[in-house]
Structure 1
Amino acid sequence: MALSTHFSTKDRILSAAEELFAQHGFSGTSLRQVTGRADVNIAAVNYHFGSKENLVNEVFRRRMDDMSAQRLAALKLATQTHPAELEPILAAFIEPALAVAQDRQGGAAFVRVVARAYAEKNDSLRKFLSERYGHVLRDFAKAIAVCLPELSKEELYWRLDFLAGALTYAMADFGLIKRPNGTLEKAHRERAARELIRFSAAGFQS
């Protein structure tokens, strides 16, 4: 029973923090707000995370560890079954991220948290994300470079950066294309993935 309580308390704190970070940003959210939303005391936050900085990092790690693993597994499959083909590699990068956005258990809030990470200057968070997930981007860069050997490393990373921005925009569903009435969310996300893959492939190959 204690183990179950241990995990439920930690998850409640993470979910509360994710929602509040999405609404108010990292600097605009206090630990007192988090404890109030999660219905725990400050000692529970200190026990599980130690600091607000670690709490911010864990909000990202909770979702991005799985997403990164899915991306790398899909990348490995793409390079084995479709060697030197660009679109399967792009699909491996795009589709797991859109699946996170579709997750009804806080996916939309996490997307807003990602947008906050782009908008707010948080050097500690950026360092954490770079150190923990930078290898994922490098693996994709290497795979794309095999498909497009004429691109310089600088050009390649510019285009990857643009892809990441477009993907975040698509995840947030900010665009002009809204889900039509009668269309399931899953089908809408799959269409978004197909269109973004085609768009990105054209951009990389231009």
Structure 2
Amino acid sequence: MTKTAASENNLKEINKKDRILDAAEELFAQHGYDGVTIRQIAKAAEVDVALANYHFGKKLDLFHAVFDRRAQLLSDTRRQLLLSEQDAPQTLEQIIEAFLLPLKMAQQTGDAGWRNYLALLAYVMTSPVWNKIMMDKVFDKRVHEFIEALKNVLPNANEEKLHWCYHYMSGALALTLAQTGRIDRLSMGKCESTDFDTAYKLMVPFLAEGFRKVCG
């Protein structure tokens, strides 16, 4: 086999792996871990089940691969945004904006897969099982950096209240990322759960006032 042919074969395999990850990401986001089979994922990716097993092993291994694929990029970009503002005094709004970066990324990257991933992230965040297993690997390690930044702009707050407010902020983010469509129904179409741009703009001042009221 020539080097060109070998390269083409490698690219095809990479493309198939990406298709498997993309299909799994969408299906896990829609149905959760227990509501999806490897066979369904393979069918959506248009590959053989054996190939999905070959590349990723068991369904649990594939679930971790899907979650980990974007986790580090998201966490690192969040941290860069948080730290980039530290040359000058940070505002509470800037800290919140750094935390809510996923909403903005999904709106601006042009990668439709981000919406599926963020819905999956919401599923993991709100699961008492998967939260313990998966959030600690990347995301939970950054929490103390946000708490320290919040302490700097809210010096009179005690740490217990800061953690509760951080918890409320995480909950608001998770519910929005989940894109359940409930707000669409309740507002009778005036709001759309997929409208991350509006959600981002409104959530920043909403959360800032909450932090100031409780921790100011």
**Is residue 2:181 matched to residue 1:168?**
no
1:71: how far off? 0.8
Residue 13 of structure 2 aligns to a residue whose secondary structure is helix
TM-score (structure 1 length as normaliser): 0.82
Q: In the alignment, which of 97, 100, 113 is matched to residue 102 of structure 2?
A: 97
Task: Quote the Cα distance in structure 2 between the aligned partners of 1:78 and 1:169.
Answer: 27
Aligned length: 196
Provide the residue aligned with 1:182 in structure 2. Answer: none
Provide the residue aligned with 2:141 in structure 1. Answer: 135
Provide the residue aligned with 1:88 in structure 2. Answer: 94
Task: Quote the Cα distance in structure 1 between the aligned partners of 2:34 and 2:128.
Answer: 10
TM-score (structure 2 length as normaliser): 0.79
Write the deviation string for residues 120-164 of structure 1: whole angstroms up to 9, x where unpaired: 4434x5322212221222211111111112222222111111111
Task: Quote the Cα distance in structure 2 between the aligned partners of 1:160 and 1:59.
Answer: 26
Write the deviation string for residues 76-98 of structure 1: whole angstroms up to 9, x where unpaired: 112223x242111111111x211
Q: In the alignment, which of 142, 145, 150 is matched to residue 144 of structure 1?
A: 150
**Is residue 2:214 matched to residue 1:202?**
no
Q: Label 1:161 to 1:53 Cα distance change in 2 as closer, same or farther (>3 A).
A: same
Please identify, of 97-106 and 29-38, the stretch whose mean Cα deviation from structure 2 is larger: 97-106
Q: In the alignment, which of 111, 132, 145 is matched to residue 126 of structure 1?
A: 132
What percent of counterpart residues are identical?
Answer: 31
Task: Please report the RMSD computed on the Cα atoms of aligned residues, expressed in angstroms.
Answer: 2.4
Larger Rg: 2
Unaligned runs of 5+ in 1: 180-184
Q: In the alignment, which of 40, 45, 65 is matched to residue 38 of structure 1?
A: 45
Indicate if the aligned counterparts of 1:84 and 1:147 stay in contact, CA closer than 8 A.
yes
Indicate if the aligned counterparts of 1:78 and 1:92 stay in contact, CA closer than 8 A.
no
Task: Quote the Cα distance in structure 2 between the aligned partners of 1:85 and 1:120.
Answer: 32
1:31: how far off? 1.1
Q: In the alignment, which of 10, 26, 33 is matched to residue 33 of structure 2?
A: 26
Indicate if the aligned counterparts of 2:93 and 2:205 stay in contact, CA closer than 8 A.
yes
1:99: how far off? 2.7
1:15: how far off? 1.0
**Is residue 2:68 matched to residue 1:61?**
yes
Task: Quote the Cα distance in structure 1 between the aligned partners of 2:114 and 2:182.
Answer: 15
1:198: how far off? 0.8
